[in-house]
Structure 1
């Protein structure tokens, strides 16, 4: 398939620039590939779609303040987007500058701190923070929250809270798992009280999530690798659901990608890993029955993923309906609940 097959026109006024006052206030578009139906609802009714024994899988990654500004040693201004912190002093980053910094050069960050460029890997720079402070502490004090490029205002204190899920725990993401932004603590408690197994994975969303697909043939696109963790408790809940005929619902494409990456092994097991899984129409899903997700950008890899999950034609109809009904799009926008038409389950 071609990248243009996943294009659509979105009126700019439908791009949500700010969150709604309450997390669960958003609308919900139900897309059922079994019944081939599309229905309007509200997210506050999400628990109606669950029964005891079902599994809900959330991504508990925590967004770091990954955007930094500074200068090269030569004086040129730079913008640094930390992509992955892999020890206290070293990280991969994207760097915007009039000329790319060279290996061995120094970067001056947040007025008085320095980082050294150790090398380059594809479009990422390997940099080391000089001094005793760790990257996470440094970013928390001096960084800015990296709101997506389609949000036109600079991050403020309200974004520090609302561009973070209520269950965020493990630092490392540079973008929020936005489907999880709709959940509040009361809603999670209600699901648990109903007998739903609320479980977690961790996938640290990288800066590559904002990168456009630059090839015409989608088979030629290569995904950025992202780090994930799949815990034993989540595996146990999923296997129990499989044995009892219950459903597994992934909250967000990141949770889905984590589970389906793990499902490629002969047997599920708890582990840390990396995934560059690229899900397009024709992909054979093995674990996830339903997906809660936001609306995605035209021609994006995530638009390809939801088209694979719910069916290309039905998703085109759903997006056209959402635009006609003035749903709010992207990170701070409304949600979808997609049920796929068939399950290929593993034991």
Structure 2
């Protein structure tokens, strides 16, 4: 597999005019346009017709993470505002456990106006189901690219997720360039969102309605769920000249052993696996490489299968997908795990060969982004033709925009 370290990000750019960025969602989720790419050919349809482009017996993999109200504003007694943007927990192996903490929790955050925050806690009173709760935040440590802060709250029965729901606001993508509106509270979540922890929506899933999910089920298209909590790094621009110099963001994943078993069954039956969203793809492909790592750990007894940025290009490549997943299951049994909690920093870029997924449902992504590199890994140089078609045929771009079904070349 070719190593993408020497790829130059300027080769993955296109002109995206502001008026092509969807600032608001369509009135109906599944009325968004759908571009279907297969074997070099492009068709145009709507999401509500997705079932007609997917073979019976396929498995659709969704990311059921839920966007949290990660943006918090505190006022100093001087009147200046400090904005705290929650990135990920500090000192926890997974987001779910951190979200269920009571009374206090440590979190990695971006702090707007950090220079004005010298010392001492900031406080505010919030309303939780009609009851006043005091929320305070203390600066613990300043790092190069984030701060570690401690949250404390006065009602010891409340989980941190509940506190965020009451105190914060949704972190809309910066390129929308507007305040959160009432409709965003519903529309910037998928209809199947379940586990609190993301600071950005898995946007490919925003097009699905309960009716569409039911229709897919009736066509014998199975559905399965993984959890990858989307970090702010998903918006991190690639500023390095080559990918070797870019640090890929790491994200938390949570996967049931029963899902890995389902994937093995699907592969053995030679039935397609289709991931909904780049996060679902990152998760399922990471499982393959975690299985490769697990094979070595079964002998050594190691306790982490976390995936680093270049693991997919440097680990042994000879296992079939079913073999790798089987090794992962065996290792999980050895560790007495029913649920896999791990971190992945996988980078999927041209040169990468998909191990598990045959297709991806995804939106149209920003120029010079790692998400566009992922699309190019699936479609090769045809990504340019696909994006030009979308541009020429009035498709809407980015989080609230239209989407595509891309079959791997």
Given that 1:61 and 1:203 are in contact with CA atoms closer than 8 Å, whether structure 2 keeps it comes out as: yes
Q: 2:250 — aligned with what?
A: 225
Q: Give the TM-score of the pair, scaled to structure 2.
A: 0.78
Residue among 206, 231, 240 paired with 1:181 = 206
Given that 1:59 and 1:177 are in contact with CA atoms closer than 8 Å, whether structure 2 keeps it comes out as: yes
Judged with a 3 Å threshold, the aligned counterparts in structure 2 of structure 1 residues 232 and 208 are, in CA distance, closer, same or farther, namely same
Are positions 1:247 and 2:269 aligned together?
Answer: no
Q: 2:107 — aligned with what?
A: 91
Given that 2:190 and 2:205 are in contact with CA atoms closer than 8 Å, whether structure 1 keeps it comes out as: yes
Counterpart Cα distance in 1 of 2:45 and 2:81: 47
Counterpart Cα distance in 2 of 1:190 and 1:40: 19
Counterpart Cα distance in 2 of 1:339 and 1:109: 50
Question: Which structure has greater helix proportion?
Answer: 2
Partner-residue secondary structure (3-state), 1:254: helix
Residue among 20, 32, 35 paired with 1:14 = 20
Partner-residue secondary structure (3-state), 1:161: helix
Q: 1:114 — aligned with what?
A: 136
Q: 2:46 — aligned with what?
A: 42
Q: 1:340 — aligned with what?
A: 408
Count of residues paired in the alignment: 337
Are positions 1:212 and 2:232 aligned together?
Answer: no
Q: 1:154 — aligned with what?
A: 179
Q: 2:382 — aligned with what?
A: 314
Q: How far has the Cα of 1:121 moved from its partner?
A: 4.4
Consecutive unaligned residues in structure 2, runs of 5 or more: 1-6, 93-97, 127-133, 293-323, 330-338
What do the CA deviations read for 1:2-50 (whole angstroms, capped 9, x no partner)? 1111111111111001111111000011122xx2112212111101122
Q: 1:344 — aligned with what?
A: none
What do the CA deviations read for 1:95-124 (whole angstroms, capped 9, x no partner)? 12162756x643345786321122244412
Q: Does 85-94 or 67-76 show the bigger shift?
A: 67-76
Counterpart Cα distance in 2 of 1:238 and 1:306: 22
Given that 1:73 and 1:106 are in contact with CA atoms closer than 8 Å, whether structure 2 keeps it comes out as: no
Given that 1:199 and 1:233 are in contact with CA atoms closer than 8 Å, whether structure 2 keeps it comes out as: no
Q: 2:296 — aligned with what?
A: none
Q: Does 228-237 or 196-205 show the bigger shift?
A: 228-237
Counterpart Cα distance in 2 of 1:98 and 1:175: 23
Partner-residue secondary structure (3-state), 1:65: coil
Residue among 124, 140, 147 paired with 2:146 = 124
Given that 1:73 and 1:105 are in contact with CA atoms closer than 8 Å, whether structure 2 keeps it comes out as: no
What do the CA deviations read for 1:51-81 (whole angstroms, capped 9, x no partner)? 3321000000000011111245776432211
Given that 2:395 and 2:401 are in contact with CA atoms closer than 8 Å, whether structure 1 keeps it comes out as: yes
Q: 2:130 — aligned with what?
A: none
Given that 2:67 and 2:189 are in contact with CA atoms closer than 8 Å, whether structure 1 keeps it comes out as: yes
Consecutive unaligned residues in structure 1, runs of 5 or more: 342-347
Q: 1:278 — aligned with what?
A: 347
Q: How far has the Cα of 1:151 moved from its partner?
A: 1.1
Q: How far has the Cα of 1:230 moved from its partner?
A: 1.5
Residue among 138, 141, 145 paired with 2:166 = 141
Given that 2:135 and 2:154 are in contact with CA atoms closer than 8 Å, whether structure 1 keeps it comes out as: no
